[in-house]
Structure 1
Amino acid sequence: MRLLILLATTTMLAACGGAGPQSVGSTAPPTGGGTGGGGTGGGTGGGTAHTFVDPTEPKTYTAVGASHSYNYRVDSPSDPGAGQTGQLYQGDATTVRNSALTIAYNPRDAIFDVTFTNPLAGTSAVSRFQDPLHRTDFGGIVEPQIGTPNLGSAQFGVQGINYLESGSANNVTTPVPGEFVFGLVDPGQPGTYEGTTFFYQTPGTETDYVSFAGYLRNRATVNNITIDNADGSTTEYIEQNSQFERGAFAFGQLTASDNVPTTGTGTFEGTMLASMVFNDQPDTIGNFDTYFQWIAGRATTNVDFGANTFSLSLDGTVGAPLFDGTSRQHTILQNAQFRANGAGDINLVSAGGFFGQFNEAWFVNPGGARLDMVIAGSSIDGAFYGPNAAELGGGYRIVGGTPDERIDILGTFVGKKP
C-alpha cells in the first residue's frame, strides 16, 4: 500500500546529516512462517536469504511496542497563567500478536514507509521518507524538531542513531525559542505546523537481528482570536491547539518457534527507550499542565528457557520536558534516574513470545529524592529474534495508579546474549 507522503514545504523540517537509512531493511522470512513465524518482526515479502544488517530486498516489519497521544489547547501561550485546557490523553501497548505498527524499507531507493496508527493510543502517524533531505541529525544549522531526543548525546550515550524527518509549516513563527509555541506571520490568517520524526538504531551497532525505533509527531493549529468587550473595546489573543504523538518499538528478524531453546538460561543486555508523561500535581498544587519526556538507558532480561520464565530490569535517564508556554511545573527533573523491575512467562503458542508485568518502578531526582510509582496496570510483551533466540525485543507500559495524577510510561527494549 502506498503511504502518505509528508514533504517539507517550508524550512526547518528536513535536513541532511547522520548515518542515513541505508543499513536497515530486509530479512528472509524466518523458517516456519512466511511472515515471520506467526508474529512480530517478520517481513511480508522477499524470498532470497539475506541479513537484517545488510538488506538487499524490500521488507515490511511488524513492530511491537507502545505509543501515546496528548491533545489540548493553550490560550495566549507564554502569558502568566496560561494553561492547558480541553485535554485528551490516550495510550496503548501492543502485543506480539496484535500490532498494526509497521516499518517498511526499500534498500534500492533508501525509502522508509512507517505507519504508527493505533486508535487505542489516538495515534495516526503515516509517513514516507524518500527525499535524501529527510535525513537529519543534531549539530549544524538545522536539527530535528523540538521534542526529539538526542540519543547520541553525553546524557544518553546511545550509538548508531539515525533520524528522518518531514513536515510542513504555514504562517507561523516560533516566538519562544526552545518551546512549542507559535505566533502568526499574518494575524488575519490561521497558521499550521506538522512534523514527523522517525529514528532508529542501525542494525549491527549493538544487535544484529532486532533493533529499536521511535517516533514523534508534533502538530499545531494557531489562530488569532478577537473578542468584542461590553465597553466597545476588543481583546485579542493567540489560541494554539497542540496534538502530540510519541512511540517506541522493536522490530527485526523473528526466531521461528521451533528454533527457540527449551533448556538453559540466558542474559540479554541492550538498550531501553521510553516516552513518559508524569504529572502528580493536579491534586497538590492545582497544576494540570502535562509534558512529554524521553527516557533512555539499559535493559537486562534474564530468561530461563526450561522454566519458560523471564525477568526484566530497566535502568534509564530522563530527558528534559517539552514545554509549551505554560507553567513549566514538573516533578521528574532532567537527568533523573528511572528504575523498573518486572517478570513473566514465555508462551510461544498463545503469545508468540513472552509476556509479563512490572512489580516496581521508581525515580531518583538529581539531589537524591526518590519517588516510587503506584502501579495501576502494566505490561511487558516481547519476542525472540535471530537464530536460536540469540536476541530479543519488546514493548512495555507502566500506568500510574494514584488518583488525580497523569503518569504513563510507554517504551521498548532490545537485548542480545554476550
Structure 2
Amino acid sequence: MRSFRTLLALSGAVTLAACGGDTRPQTVGSTAAVPSGTPTPTHSFVAPTDPKTYESIGAVQHYEYFTDSNAIGQGGQLYAGDANTARDSGISLTYNPRDAIFEMTINRPNGMVNVTAFRFQDPQHRTAFGGPLGPQAGVPNFAAGRQIQYLEAGSQTGSRLSPASPYYAASVGSAYPVMDDASSSSTQTLFYQKPGTTTKYVTYAGFVRNNVSGALQTPAVGAAYLRETYSLDRAAFVFGERSANSAVPASGSATFSGEMIASMVVNVDPTTTADATGSTYMQWMQGAQTSTINFTNRTVSSTFTGTLFAPTIDAYTSAIYPLSAGTAFSATGSATIDMINRGGFAGSFSQACFAAACTSANSLNIAGSSLDGTFFGPNAEEIGGGFRIVGGTPDQRIDILGSFVGKKP
C-alpha cells in the first residue's frame, strides 16, 4: 500500500546577497555600461559600479513527491519551509558589473534548499514571458509594470515524452516537463524587480528550481508504468543597502507602502475531494503591503493584500485544487523594532484569509507565523522584509512564504 502523504514543516531562516556585474547589456538595475572616457558615477543600488554583496531577508520552501502513469495523485510527499530574520543568513546573491554574472548560493538546511554558487550570465541566461524561450513552469508572470528581470539556466539528460510513448497522451496537460525512462531535467530561474522601479535602496527577488526525472517501473504483477519524480524549490526574498542603526528615527511615525510577492503550498483535503492522496500544489501570489511605523513606541502595524496565480500542474495528478487563480488574499500583522538585538523588526500575524477582507468567519486558523524586516537607504526611507503564515485545518496544509518592500510617500 503506497504511503502518499508525509508533510514535514520546518521553521528556519533565509538570507540573500547580490553583487554587481558588467553588462555591457545590463547591470543589477539594467543600466547600460559606462562608455569609455566617461567619469565613473557614484555607486548606487540602482546603477552599481562596484561588486557588492547585500544581506537579504525572506523565505525558502521545498516540496518533493512522485506521480505514476497508472494512478491519479501524488506519492511520497515531503515538504519543508524556512523563513529568516534580519540577522539570519543563508542566501547570497553576488553581482559584479564587470562581467554581468550573478552568483547565487542558498544554504537553508531546515528548508531543504541548497544551491552552491550557481551562476547566471546576463544576457546569455536572460529570458522573458512572450519571447521565443519563456521562463520554465512554476515561474510567476507578474504584471508588466513591475519590470521583473528573469535569468534562467538548466540541463537535461535523456528525452521528454513524445507522442510515440504509450504514456504521452495522459500527460499532455502537465506544465512541468514529463521525462521518459532514465531521463531528467534540472532548471534554475532567478528573477528580481529592476532596482529603481518602485524603490531605490531595496528590491525583491525570487528563485525557482524544478528537478524532474522519469523511471520505468516493472512490477512482478501487472503492466509496466512510468514514474515521474519531482523536487521543487522556491524562494522569495529582498536585498539592498541597509540603513545604519543611527539612521533609524527614535521618534515620530511614518507609513511605508509597496509591493509583495509570495509562494504558497496548499494541499487538498482528501476527505472532501476525489483525490484521496491529498495532492499538494504550489502557487505564487502578487500584491501590496502597507506598514505604519511608530518610531516612538518602536511598533510596526502591517496589512497585506494579494491575488493568487494558478497552481502549476504536473503529470498524472488530478488537478483538483482548492484555490483558483484570482483568489484574493489579505492579512494583518504587527512587529516590534529592535535594531540592537534583531537588526530590524520582528513579529507575527494576527489574521489572514483568502478574501478581500478578513472576518471571523473566513480567517485561517494560523498555526504559526513570522513578520521580519529592516530599514534600507541612508535615511531609513525604505523597508524590506519577509513573512510566513502557516495555517489550515486537520489533514490539510497551507504555507505562505513571501517578501515585501515599501517606501514613504
TM > 0.5 between the two?
Answer: yes
Counterpart residue number, 2:121? 130
Do the aligned residues in 2 keep the contact of 1:62 with 1:100 (CA within 8 Å)? no
User: Which of these residues, 189, 204, 219, is aligned with residue 212 of structure 1?
Assistant: 204
User: Which of these residues, 247, 260, 264, is aligned with residue 276 of structure 1?
Assistant: 264
Cα distance in 1 between the residues matched to 2:284 and 2:119: 24
Counterpart residue number, 2:160? 173
Cα distance in 1 between the residues matched to 2:87 and 2:248: 17
Q: Helix, strand or coil for the counterpart of 2:379?
A: helix
Q: Helix, strand or coil for the counterpart of 2:280?
A: coil
Do the aligned residues in 1 keep the contact of 2:268 with 2:280 (CA within 8 Å)? no
Do the aligned residues in 2 keep the contact of 1:125 with 1:217 (CA within 8 Å)? no
Counterpart residue number, 1:256? 244
Cα distance in 2 between the residues matched to 1:417 and 1:377: 29
Q: In the alignment, residue 170 of structure 1 is paired with which amino acid?
A: T
Q: Does 1:144 align with 2:135?
A: yes
Q: Give the unaligned 5+ runs of structure 2.
A: 1-24, 32-40, 162-167
**Superposition deviation, residue 281 in structure 1:** 1.0
User: Which of these residues, 77, 89, 104, is aligned with residue 87 of structure 1?
Assistant: 77
1:13-412 → structure 2 map (5 Å cutoff):
21-23=27-29, 50-76=43-69, 81-126=71-116, 127-130=118-121, 132-153=123-144, 158-173=145-160, 175=168, 176-184=172-180, 187=181, 190-229=182-221, 235-285=223-273, 286-325=276-315, 326-364=317-355, 371-412=362-403
Alpha-carbon distance change, 244 to 277 in structure 1, aligned in 2, over 3 angstroms: same
Q: In the alignment, residue 279 of structure 1 is paired with which amino acid?
A: N
Q: In the alignment, residue 125 of structure 1 is paired with which amino acid?
A: V
Q: Does 1:413 align with 2:404?
A: yes
Counterpart residue number, 1:29? none
Counterpart residue number, 2:13? none
Counterpart residue number, 1:28? none
Alpha-carbon distance change, 183 to 388 in structure 1, aligned in 2, over 3 angstroms: closer
**Superposition deviation, residue 383 in structure 1:** 0.5
Q: In the alignment, residue 240 of structure 2 is paired with which amino acid?
A: G
Q: Helix, strand or coil for the counterpart of 1:103?
A: strand
**Superposition deviation, residue 116 in structure 1:** 2.3
Q: Give the unaligned 5+ runs of structure 1.
A: 1-18, 26-47
Q: Helix, strand or coil for the counterpart of 2:197?
A: coil
Q: In the alignment, residue 198 of structure 1 is paired with which amino acid?
A: L
Cα distance in 1 between the residues matched to 2:77 and 2:253: 46
Q: In the alignment, residue 56 of structure 1 is paired with which amino acid?
A: T
Do the aligned residues in 1 keep the contact of 2:57 with 2:373 (CA within 8 Å)? yes
Cα distance in 2 between the residues matched to 1:400 and 1:384: 28
Cα distance in 2 between the residues matched to 1:210 and 1:279: 33
Q: In the alignment, residue 390 of structure 1 is paired with which amino acid?
A: E
1:28-48: per-residue Cα shift (whole Å, max 9, x none)? xxxxxxxxxxxxxxxxxxxx9
Q: Helix, strand or coil for the counterpart of 1:120?
A: helix
Q: In the alignment, residue 165 of structure 1 is paired with which amino acid?
A: E
**Superposition deviation, residue 124 in structure 1:** 1.3
**Superposition deviation, residue 68 in structure 1:** 0.4
Cα distance in 2 between the residues matched to 1:20 and 1:125: 24
Q: In the alignment, residue 23 of structure 1 is paired with which amino acid?
A: G
Q: In the alignment, residue 68 of structure 1 is paired with which amino acid?
A: Q
Q: Helix, strand or coil for the counterpart of 1:180?
A: coil
Q: Helix, strand or coil for the counterpart of 1:235?
A: coil
Cα distance in 1 between the residues matched to 2:246 and 2:28: 32
Cα distance in 1 between the residues matched to 2:173 and 2:267: 24
Counterpart residue number, 2:15? none
Q: Helix, strand or coil for the counterpart of 1:258?
A: helix
* Number of positions where the alignment pairs a residue of Structure 1 with one of Structure 2: 359
Q: In the alignment, residue 161 of structure 1 is paired with which amino acid?
A: I
Q: In the alignment, residue 149 of structure 2 is paired with which amino acid?
A: N
Cα distance in 1 between the residues matched to 2:321 and 2:57: 30
**Superposition deviation, residue 177 in structure 1:** 5.0
Cα distance in 1 between the residues matched to 2:91 and 2:30: 17
Q: Helix, strand or coil for the counterpart of 2:374?
A: strand
Cα distance in 2 between the residues matched to 1:252 and 1:371: 36
1:139-173: per-residue Cα shift (whole Å, max 9, x none)? 122100011101135xxxx4211000001112232
Do the aligned residues in 2 keep the contact of 1:24 with 1:52 (CA within 8 Å)? no
Q: In the alignment, residue 319 of structure 1 is paired with which amino acid?
A: F
